[in-house]
Chains A and B, each alone.
Chain A
Amino acid sequence: MSENEKYLLKVEHLKQYFPVRRGFKTIPLKAVDDISFSVKPGETLGLVGESGCGKTTVGRTLLRLYQPTAGRIVFDGDVLFDSGEQYDENGKVVLGADGKPVIGNKVDVNMLPYRKQMQMVFQDPYSSLNPRMTVEDIIGEPLDVHKLYRSRDERREKILGLMELVGLNAEHAMRYAHEFSGGQRQRIGIARALAVNPKFIVCDEPVSALDVSIQAQVVNMFEELQEKLGVAYLFIAHDLLVVHHISDRIAVMYLGKMMELADADELNENPIHPYTLSLLSAVPIPDPETARKSKRIVLEGDVPSPLNMPTGCPFRTRCRYATEQCAKEMPQLTDRGNGHFVACFNK
């Protein structure tokens, strides 16, 4: 990862812990634990993993819908959040003479101006739209918040333009969300996100609630909008085939940690991390011939509870290659060439 390359968004050592009460004690649930990645302008970064691995939390923390526990978020050259810890080359926290981490400049900006540039599309098109608002008002709300129009006419014009952009009939502007089908509602959600003309959109499982025949329509629309508007996506999903199709690069998460990050085709043809391997082999391929030939690498057991995480690498309890070293420390993400990053000692 050369430093000269231009990044739209850069996340370093992001941590998001949630306090959970267990009896009298409060213990941290490490939803996202020390994750670093970046998104280039106009690219799609896919984020995959099983439920509970923290992929949604990453998306929400980036947008500062949660207050991050630690880490640094840089968007378009501006630092949005920095908890001030310093890290050395090996990714370890730099400690001062007193054994405590050295804390540098802390940054915590007001997000309102940045909301114009970073938006979100939610998973459930049924609960993410206010049933008491008309489509016009749903899409118009971000325009109201950021005061992006001078007159009522301009507001209406903008809303109708957005509806046309996402393939909705402009005559339906006065309807309510319940009058639309799932695919159309997701289009409303996307139009709302696009209203402020953002550079970056977090798409949190935007197609998983849709029917197969509608999924392709929405996936195509995401791709077309990117070509037209140059917007970058963080595309969170658990359907690996859809993610592979839409993404330029894919990151694989497991229990709050990033396991592998690579170019989409590279990751699918040449997966390195044992978790990625089993994840990819578990995807049912819609082709009887290949399905008969391929052998699933079936993982034993379930994902451990994030409240009771294994030491070292969280995947070691289900990993065929686990060694003693894996129990002691978490491997760092290292570049294996051509921007293929893997966090594993043994592969």
Chain B
Amino acid sequence: MGQENNYILEVKDLHTSFFTDTGEVQAVNGISFNLEAGKTLGIVGESGSGKSVTAYSIMQILAETGRITGGEVRFHGEDITKWNKKQMQKFRGAKCSIIFQDPMTSLNPVFTIGSQLTEAILLHTDNNKKQAKERAIEMLTLVGVNEPESRMKQHPHELSGGMRQRVMIAMALACEPDILIADEPTTALDVTIQAQILELMQDLQKKLGMTIIMVTHDLGVIASMCDEILVMYGGRVCERGTADAIFYHPAHEYTKGLLRSIPKADNMNEKLIPIGGTPINLLQMPEGCAFCPRCDAAMKICLKEKPQEFRVGETHIASCWMNIKELYEAQEGERV
């Protein structure tokens, strides 16, 4: 990882905590990844795994109680966690923008679509009002909103969920950001509308050459969209690698379990193999591996020590002791 690389975004050992009445919650606990320009990175995990908080930390739009407590987020080599408010404001929207999960609540209900769209454009570009309006209409056409002129005067409640999500995408893309973060962009939508939105995002990526970070819990969406995948559990990265590596050669017990537990074409008439137990409570993190309490293959070392990163392929990294199981067993003898 030298300085002369074409990574657009480098995240190094990122820590984010929320300081609540019951104590410090380490929502993101040492996350690292690099992202090449023009690629799509998928972050998967269940609720509470820290995938959204990772995205919010990059944008620095955490809730009041949340704070980045360590690590670096480098954008074109510059550490943006050290930037001040003004620099961040320029970064957000112009360089990196975000689409939120719920298109029903992320638009302001009392302003028209037009005023919300032009606000973003006026803020980040030198365009005057007229140019901004033209740009907004251009963006709405680009994302496939029909009759963009009349839509500009409508309020969010007059639009369907799919249309609202398109407006959100138009808003996010209006200033041609380098990075688009999509936080569960299709979870609230029906499958047919989801297909439209995913198709649209892929099209726009080809046209504009954006880098996309896709945050989702849906392995299907990940499989069809992403080049690289980051699997998260309990605020830590379990595994990261190319889509093919993760789906066909998973090297972490959590990833394996996750893939076993979803219905697929080849297990329709068999029983699903669920992951036992319940999702982790971030206030009571175990000493060793976060997934250990639910892991069938857990060994003694998993209870005691946080697994280090093992390189299982050229670009494939997994944090699971199972990767040195033989070695470990030879040393220690029995399993738990």
Residue numbers of A with Cβ under 8 A of B are 50-51, 181, 183-184, 211-217, 219-220, 223, 238, 240-242, 244-245, 264-265, 268, 278-279, 281-292, 296, 298-299, 302-303
Contact = CB atoms under 8 A, between A and B. Distances in A.
CB-CB nearest 6 A-B residue pairs: A284-B220, A216-B274, A282-B195, A216-B261, A291-B224, A245-B263
Contacts of A212: 46, 217, 219, 258, 261-262
Say whether chain B's binding surface is mostly helix, strand, loop, or mixed.
Answer: helix
A49 to B, nearest CB: 9
A74 to B, nearest CB: 31
Given A50-B190, A211-B46, A285-B265, A291 B223 contact: yes
Say whether chain A's binding surface is mostly helix, strand, loop, or mixed.
Answer: helix
A284 B224 contact: yes
A286 B217 CA distance: 11
A219 B294 CA distance: 18
B163 interface: yes
Given A184-B278, A284-B223, A287-B223, A215 B261 contact: yes
B195 A281 contact: yes
Nearest to B272: A216
Interface string B154-172: 0000001011000000000
Contacts of B278: 181, 183-184, 214
B268 A213 contact: no
B195 A298 contact: yes
A286 B269 CA distance: 17
B268 A245 contact: yes
Interface residues of B, number: 46
A302 B193 contact: yes
Interface in B186-211: 190-196, 198-199
Contacts of A183: 278
Given A211-B46, A213-B258, A299 B192 contact: yes
Contacts of A284: 194-195, 198, 218, 220-221, 223-224
Indicate the member of B190, B192, B244, B261 with the most A CB atoms within 10 Å.
B192
Interface in B130-169: 160, 162-163
Contact of A286 (B259, B276, B279): B259
Contacts of A302: 160, 162-163, 193
Nearest to A264: B268
B297 to A, nearest CB: 15
B196 A244 contact: no
B236 to A, nearest CB: 16
Contacts of A283: 191, 220
